[in-house]
């Protein structure tokens, strides 16, 4: 096994002080891909110190110059698309075609914030008295800790790094411990930035905890589970650090009776089975209006039967493995519980070894007759499991879709504009997709309502998540004010 890939701190590769390592494996083949360091508090402190030292000068760099440097990051990413996408596919298990698309989205995010950030600095405010000028400027928080999960390790990191940089912050990035290698490779694309502006450390929860607790970290930007988000919020609360949290959800998808099933069936399947179902916004609760439920279910079973499970590097494969043995066991147990609670296992529901592969593969699974309130509608299933619930009519479908503690996203299929707008107003969700599931737009805010998170990523809202406004009040005529002391010189009521 080769030596661990060095960390990226203060603009250069450097060995870690920690000697604790973990082996990173391909979840499809279980072959080792490399080793990574579990950074200790000394490694974290070195990275945070570098970021804190670089931040004042980075904040003073004009927006046009920051934009040029972010465009250069995007150019470097595109130049390394093959290497980045191949490594990411191997260490995440996502099909190579999904990984290639993802790298372009990563580059596009840096391009987007390069343009948005150079044009956004504050606002002019109407004054309340003569010879006053009021305006705001939006300032960075300082040092940002960016912590991301295994399912989209580069994209979710870009959603934090690009806006945080344009806002004037510096960063310490902690990739997921399951697959940190592609983020370490991505660090090569930061070499055109001033030293210390972006730093990358690796490790598991202990490394993340040291980063969150570090006194020089001003804001934590985290994507991951609700349980982990609660812990981070609690730790951050001890020192009143700011947090941006994009957490999990059990997103609904309603197929109304007027939907074109030739579109809805493959659309629902893709929205749920993308990345083997390991997507925070994947459609985990599927509600079918009764009049089309039987036909939709029949077609869905036929469609899922035609999807190919296997090695993500094979261009004919649609669905790869789960990320780990623990993830596989969890999904297996959740499906068993769903069946115990009354769901019918219509397809799949077991581990498989496609083409003799020894990885963490689980058959694309369809559960029918899922009762609202049972496990698939109250607990996030992070795997390739489609859960179908029948609603009597549109009203019940909307009511059930909104009956959740979460609110990251929601999808519907309908050509009825009135119905679509009513569903949009009644269902609490940070993103509401009508007839185009799970599409992203860099210019639109992304984030959750209810227990699905705090704050937003993407759009100008995503830029504002990494800066805070300062109100500047200027009176260009220095004069004594009539409302000052002593009050005896100012009659009451005048």
Nearest to 161 by CA among 300, 58, 260: 58
> Which residue in 98, 246, 380, 457 is the catalytic one?
246
Q: Sign of the C-alpha dihedral, residues 234, 147, 194, 467?
A: negative
Element (H, E) at 217: none
Of 39, 173, 189, 280, catalytic: 280
Neighbours of 189 (CB within 10 A): 22
- Cis bond upstream, residue 486 (ω within 30): yes
> Cβ distance 52 to 142 under 8 Å?
yes
Nearest to 297 by CA among 366, 360, 204, 400: 366
Q: Tokens 């046009």 identify what position? A: 64
Distance CA 378, CA 429 (A): 16
Range list of β-strands (E), 348-384: 351-352, 361-362, 365-368
Q: How far apart are CA 319 and CA 308, in angstroms?
A: 6
**Number of residues in the chain:** 494
246 catalytic residue (yes or no): yes
Q: What's the token pair of residue 360? A: 């963490």
| Pairing of the two strands 7-9 and 12-14 | antiparallel
In angstroms, the CA 310 to CA 359 distance is 9
160 with 457: CB under 8 angstroms?
yes
DSSP structure class, residue 82: H
**CB-based contacts of 185: which residues, under 8 Å, 6+ apart?**
5, 80, 83, 84, 87
Contact call for residues 450 and 407 (beta carbons, < 8 A):
yes
Dihedral pair phi/psi, residue 125, rounded to 5°: -120, 135
User: Is position 39 annotated as part of the catalytic site?
Assistant: no
Between CA 431 and CA 404 the distance in angstroms is 15
Residue among 238, 252, 151, 230 nearest 454 (CA): 230
DSSP secondary structure letters along 237-284: HHTT-EEEEE----EEEEE-TT--HHHHHHHHHHHHHGGGG--TTSEE
Which residues pair with residue 475 across a beta bridge?
Answer: 132
Q: Which positions are catalytic?
A: 246, 280
């Amino acid at each position: 096994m080769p030596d661990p890939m060095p960390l990226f701190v203060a603009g250069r590769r450097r060995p870690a002080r920690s000697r604790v390592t973990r082996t990173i494996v391909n979840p499809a083949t279980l072959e080792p891909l490399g080793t990574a360091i579990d950074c200790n508090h000394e490694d974290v402190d070195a990275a945070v110190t570098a970021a804190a030292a670089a931040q004042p000068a980075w904040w003073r760099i004009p927006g046009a110059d920051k934009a040029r440097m972010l465009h250069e990051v995007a150019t470097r990413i595109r130049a390394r698309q093959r290497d980045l996408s191949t490594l990411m596919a191997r260490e995440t298990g996502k099909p190579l075609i999904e990984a290639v698309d993802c790298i372009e989205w990563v580059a596009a995010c840096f391009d987007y914030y390069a343009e948005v950030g150079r044009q956004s600095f504050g606002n002019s405010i109407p004054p309340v008295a003569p010879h006053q000028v009021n305006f705001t400027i939006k300032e960075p928080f300082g040092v940002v800790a960016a912590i991301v999960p295994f399912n989209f390790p580069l994209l979710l990191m870009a959603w934090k790094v690009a806006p945080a940089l344009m806002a004037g912050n510096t960063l310490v990035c902690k990739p997921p411990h399951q697959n940190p290698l592609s983020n370490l490779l991505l660090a090569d694309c930061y070499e055109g930035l001033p030293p210390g502006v972006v730093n990358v450390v690796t490790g598991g929860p202990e490394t993340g905890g040291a980063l969150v607790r570090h006194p020089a970290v001003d804001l934590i930007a985290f994507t991951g589970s609700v349980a982990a988000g609660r812990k981070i919020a609690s730790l951050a609360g001890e020192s009143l650090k700011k947090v941006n949290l994009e957490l999990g959800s059990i997103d609904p998808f309603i197929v109304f009776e007027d939907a074109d099933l030739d579109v809805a069936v493959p659309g629902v399947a893709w929205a749920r089975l993308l990345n083997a179902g390991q997507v925070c916004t994947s459609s985990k609760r599927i509600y079918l209006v009764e009049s089309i439920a039987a036909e939709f279910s029949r077609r869905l079973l036929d469609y899922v039967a035609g999807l190919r499970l296997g090695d993500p590097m094979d261009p004919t494969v649609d669905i790869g493995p789960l990320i780990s043995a623990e993830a596989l066991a969890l999904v297996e147990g959740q499906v068993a519980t769903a069946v115990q609670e009354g769901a019918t296992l219509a397809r799949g529901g077991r581990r498989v070894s496609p083409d003799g592969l020894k990885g963490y593969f689980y058959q694309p699974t369809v559960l029918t007759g899922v009762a609202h309130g049972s496990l698939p509608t109250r607990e996030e299933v992070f795997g390739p499991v489609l859960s179908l619930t029948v609603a009597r009519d549109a009203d019940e479908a909307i009511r059930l879709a909104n009956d959740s503690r979460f609110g990251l996203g929601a999808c519907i299929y309908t050509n009825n504009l009135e119905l679509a707008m009513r569903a949009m107003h009644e269902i609490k969700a940070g993103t509401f997709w009508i007839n185009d599931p799970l599409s992203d737009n860099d210019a639109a805010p992304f984030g959750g309502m209810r227990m699905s998170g705090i704050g937003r990523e993407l759009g100008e809202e995503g830029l504002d998540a990494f800066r805070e406004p300062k109100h500047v009040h200027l009176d260009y005529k220095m004069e004594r004010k009539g409302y000052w002391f002593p009050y005896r010189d100012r009659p009451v009521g005048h």
